[in-house]
Chains A and B, each alone.
Chain A
Amino acid sequence: MTTWHDYLKEEGRPPSWPYPVRFEQEREVDTDILVIGGGIAGCWAAISAARLGMRVALVEKSDTVRSGSGGPGCDHWCNAPANPLSRVDPDGWARHMASRPYSNGIGIQIQCREDFDTLLEMEQMGGKIRDTEDEYVGVEGRDDKTKFMISPRYGTIHSYFPDPRMGEPNFNPPETRNNVVIRVWGSTFKPALKKECKRLGVQIFDRVMGTGLLTENGIQGARVIGATGFDTRTGEFLIFKSKATILSTAGAGSIWFMSMELGGYSNMHSRAISGDGTVMAFRAGAELTKMEAGGVVRIATGYKHKWYTGGGDASYENVPLVDANGKRLPYPIQGWVDAGAMVPAPGVEEKIREGILKGEYALPFYADFPSMPKVEQDATWKLMLGEEATTKVIIKTFNEAGFNTRKDMLQSYKFIEGQSLPQWREAGYGGGLLVDWNLKTSLDGLYAAGTQMFAPEDHSYAAATGRYAGRKAVAYARGIGESKLARDQIETIKNRVYAPVRRSGGIEWKELHAGIARVMQYYASEFRSESLFKMGMDALEKIETESVPMLYALDPHKLMRTLEDLSILEYAKIIIQASRARKASSLPLGFQRLDYPDVDPPEWNKFMTIKLENDKVKIGDLPPEFWGDMKQQYETHNRDYEGVYRGK
């Protein structure tokens, strides 16, 4: 007996709900620092705040041990230019990264200055960051003294953006490499972070979903003094009172996907990521930016073949790609010879596609593991894929089924499955909370870290910015006295949260989700214009007024999913409203307006911001590098930074 249907058939009745049911019952928690979202950024924030002696409460929708996108693992500690093998100056590399349009210079500077210290602290806590067992002696990039494994990624340029210099063999000779990315054993990280949280006395609230922020006197735009949550197994209502609050619930994953049931969701985010934090902050009056940004989902699971099916789209990895007859494709790989390319130069894919049509390249394509030296095969298969999050179980199943890198070539799905539909978009890596050099949002008492901020980067960025937000929130909280929660604000949230379980029938979350996704596919996707936006807003508002009052959830779990989709509904509305405000098209923002076809005209080279004031949307803008001189600002704000943790 394994499935619910099996159980029903055998027992003649469904299993009872296994947890006590406590809908609407309240529990109050008083803390100094409240962290909402216990992923990478959240755990690091909690740890750094607790190390400074503050009482910390960490609220996590799943279980902190494996939650979030980085919960299962991480194989690349990207952009650690302060590591001893690096050949670039951290401040210079930060400027290089921040020169990509609409990036976040504040977060990037913090990452480049502090993520190597963060990595060393990861090791102190029990995370594995070096080849201590000498498993990979002889692998290119391994430093025999430190036992760090430098990755080929970002070999000579930070290659998120296509660059014509990429893809030329031997472009990346050893003496000119940047050495900024370190291969790590990231499956050891999350359990170690949770353990450290516990050791430091962080109060962990697992399976609690944050549902709303509480502000002074319940006023929108006022200081944040706590939050509410609900237990996703029991339905209990939690009220947190805090001196400072850090949001780290990441972005929103699935706004444009109608169904989330086809083999594992669909992008680079955990299933649990649904824009909750962004929406909570927006409702409280915080300013967001870059919300109009988006792009076609490239790495998808289910809809497209899983990129992470161990070289399922091997073009992403560092294994040479060959056609069905063994002919090498001119597709750059993330290996040493191709500069650690993450994205091919423009035109490369088109050339291959034409080659397929002309019979030059035979489908399907394969990742030619056997052509690599054995140690490189192992480093790619066991370390890179073995540690890169959801891939650990993939190599496990492949190994068990008899796949062997010594003999076998993995199929690549990159070309055979075709392009992603332009309507399958993702918002997760674009918009988010606006922050200052303290990672404080536009609201007093509210901080943000990791993917929760606008224009986020990757794992080490989430870790370093979480660690930074923790210490900045503590500095603020030290000067804060008692505050009084506004009961009417709590009641408003409570009514919203429990409305679906107070009904005994109606529509369920899956239909709501599909309905929102459909609207976004039609009215806020590849083609955008004022008239489409208007139709989109009207359609979302129709859902809000007609369908939301019919939402129904049977148990606490379904209530969680329902509330996630209510976040997504709000998030979708924010996207459309922010999109309306940008009256120009933009390539880096993935933003094509039919009514304003000019692409990136100079006067629109600015961040558009959006917030609520008295429940009315207010649009603003900020200059492209509003953060100022990155090095100087960082130093001014961090004179007291003490480097790697030396406490017990």
Chain B
Amino acid sequence: MAKKELFALPNVQTPNRPVVFDPDYCTGCNICVEVCPIDVYIPNPEEGKPPIILHPEECWYCGTCAVDCPCPGAIKFNWPLQARGYWKNRETGKIGQI
């Protein structure tokens, strides 16, 4: 178990989480770390675990980390709130959003 100590931390960068990893599917192969042109990630010190998002605010949303990941379900793209697009069903008029 991790320690439950309250740390004094600076605010998080915004946006903070361009992707969400699923540790159940992610093999920690670090392919996403290598394809990312920006080095948003670093490999996890613990082998086999998902990478760590170190420079999220530098992401240019090229999407190649998510597109080139060989393990389905391991990485999900996570658009920041202000970039989530809308749509409308033509018949019902119902609004959808990613």
Residues of A within 8 A of B (CB): 1-5, 7-12, 15-16, 18, 62-63, 65-68, 71-72, 187, 207, 232-233, 260-265, 270-272, 301-302, 305-306, 309-310, 312, 326, 364, 366, 368, 370, 389-390, 392-394, 396-398, 401-403, 407-411, 557, 561
Contacts and interface: CB of A to CB of B under 8 A. Distances in A.
Given A4-B52, A306-B61, A410-B87, 16 more contacts: A2-B53, A3-B12, A5-B16, A18-B43, A63-B37, A66-B35, A263-B80, A264-B59, A272-B37, A397-B98, A398-B98, A403-B87, A407-B89, A407-B90, A407-B91, A409-B90
Contact of A3 (B7, B16, B96): B16
B29 interface: no
Interface string B33-64: 01111110011110001101111111111111
Given A62-B38, A265-B60, A392-B67, A12 B87 contact: no
A408 B90 contact: yes
Contacts of B12: 3, 5
Contacts of B7: 8-9, 12
A152 B13 CA distance: 42
A389 B60 CA distance: 12
B62 A396 contact: no
A72 B85 contact: no
A414 to B, nearest CB: 13
B46 to A, nearest CB: 9
Contacts of B82: 262-263, 302
A16 B52 CA distance: 11
Q: What 8 A-B pairs are tightest by C-beta distance, nearest first?
A: A393-B63, A62-B37, A264-B61, A271-B60, A261-B57, A263-B83, A309-B85, A411-B86
A12 B5 contact: yes
Interface of B: 2-3, 5, 7, 9, 12-17, 19-21, 23, 34-39, 42-45, 49-50, 52-64, 66-68, 77, 79-80, 82-83, 85-91, 96-98
B87 A302 contact: no
A63 B35 CA distance: 6
A565 to B, nearest CB: 13
A411 B37 contact: no
Contact of B66 (A63, A263, A393): A393
A394 B83 CA distance: 11
Contacts of B54: 4, 15
22 contacts: A7-B52, A8-B9, A10-B2, A63-B34, A63-B35, A66-B37, A260-B57, A261-B15, A263-B61, A271-B58, A301-B83, A310-B85, A390-B63, A393-B61, A393-B62, A393-B64, A393-B77, A396-B63, A397-B79, A403-B98, A409-B87, A410-B85
B37 A68 contact: yes
A398 B85 contact: yes
A4 B45 CA distance: 12
Nearest to B66: A393
Nearest to A187: B67
A368 B15 CA distance: 31
Contacts of B3: 12
A519 to B, nearest CB: 22
Nearest to A510: B57
Nearest to B79: A397
Nearest to A266: B60
A271 B39 CA distance: 11
A244 to B, nearest CB: 26
A245 B80 CA distance: 41
Given A2-B52, A3-B12, A207-B39, A72 B67 contact: yes
A642 B61 CA distance: 39
Contacts of A264: 59-61, 83
Given A12-B5, A63-B37, A309-B85, A403 B96 contact: yes
Which of B55, B66, B87 has the most chain A CB atoms closer than 10 A to its own CB? Answer: B87
A2 B50 contact: yes
A271 B38 contact: yes
B37 A67 contact: yes
A402 B94 CA distance: 12
Contacts of A233: 39
B69 to A, nearest CB: 11
A18 to B, nearest CB: 5
Given A263-B61, A402-B96, A557-B55, A11 B2 contact: yes
